[in-house]
Structures are given as structure tokens and as C-alpha cells.
A = this chain, B = another copy of it.
Amino acid sequence: MPSKPTPLTMDAVYAKPGYLFRRMQQIAVAIFVEECRTFDTTPVQYAALVAIQTHPGIDATRLSAVIAFDRSTLGSVIERLEAKGLIERKPASHDKRVKLLYLTRAGAKLLRDIMPSVDRAQARMLQPLKPADRKVLMGLLAQLVDLNNEVSRVPLRAEDALEHLGRAE
């Protein structure tokens, strides 16, 4: 008896990791945007703001490594944040190529104000699970993301952020 060729039905697709990861990301973004609607800020923009706050004077290339965010797309994200007056771009004195990123006062205020909404969003994503299951899921996912870090185009390089220190402007 030959074994059935795998998918054929949608039910087989629904249980596959690729499908579940896409769906979960879709849901997570929807929840984030809904909770943070009044701030008109996306998950990616929020992550960028936090990273810039944590590492003032970081440049775009290092920022992309710190939030594992594609370098090409980051350009437009920065542009939008700058247009909204949340960040500033200043040329670096030590290297005519780089532009250093700083949070503006408005950006810092937004980060303070948006925090409760972000926390609510993060909580809502896991809400349907039992507390113990939430821990298990997050633990396994953190492991998996870490172990697969090198696979994506922009692996996370949290340490890269430190390279700009020691040459503060």
C-alpha cells in the first residue's frame, strides 16, 4: 500500500508550521494595530523607536541588525518616523557616510504614552491560552527563533549596537 502523497487537502496545510506562523503573525499585527490605533504606529516603527531610545546615536545599518529588520525597508521606516517628528537624523562627524539617529522629545513622549497599549496588545495575543501554556509557547518560540537566527536575511545581532559607543558625538 503506497503512502498518500502529503497535502492534497487544506486540512494538511492548516497544521503545517509555515501556515501557522503566517497566521499568527497576521493576528499579532492586527491586535497591535488595533490597540495602538490612536498612536498611528506600527509594530516595526515601535521596535525602531525602542531601539533608538536604547542606543541613541545608532546608525541605520546597526539599527537593522539590532531589530533584525531588513536594511532596505528600514530606510522608508526611518523616513516616516522622521516625517512624524519622532526621530532626528544627524550626519556623523567621524564618517561622512553615516547618519546618526536620535529620538526627539516627541518620540520619547510617544514611547512613554504608548507603553500601556503595547503591553495590552502583547497580553491579548496570548490571552486565549492558559498561563502555563503561554510560558511554554514563548519559551519554545524563543529557542526556535534563536537557533534559526542565521537563516533569515538579517540575523539578529544585538551586540552590534555597542559598536557606536566610545565615539559619542
Contacts and interface: CB of A to CB of B under 8 A. Distances in A.
A106 to B, nearest CB: 18
Query: How often does this chain occur in the complex, in copies?
Result: 2
Nearest to A66: B10
A26 B22 CA distance: 9
Nearest to A141: B20
A9 B118 CA distance: 14
Interface residues of A, number: 65
A147 B133 CA distance: 14
Interface string A132-169: 01001110111111011001110010100100000000
B144 A128 contact: yes
A117 to B, nearest CB: 12
A2 interface: no
A5 B26 CA distance: 28
A64 B17 CA distance: 19
A28 interface: yes
A72 to B, nearest CB: 14
Interface stretch (A43-51, A74-82, A86-94, A95-103): A43-51
Given A23-B145, A31-B151, A133-B143, 13 more contacts: A5-B112, A5-B115, A10-B67, A16-B122, A18-B32, A21-B21, A23-B152, A24-B148, A25-B25, A26-B152, A27-B148, A125-B148, A133-B140
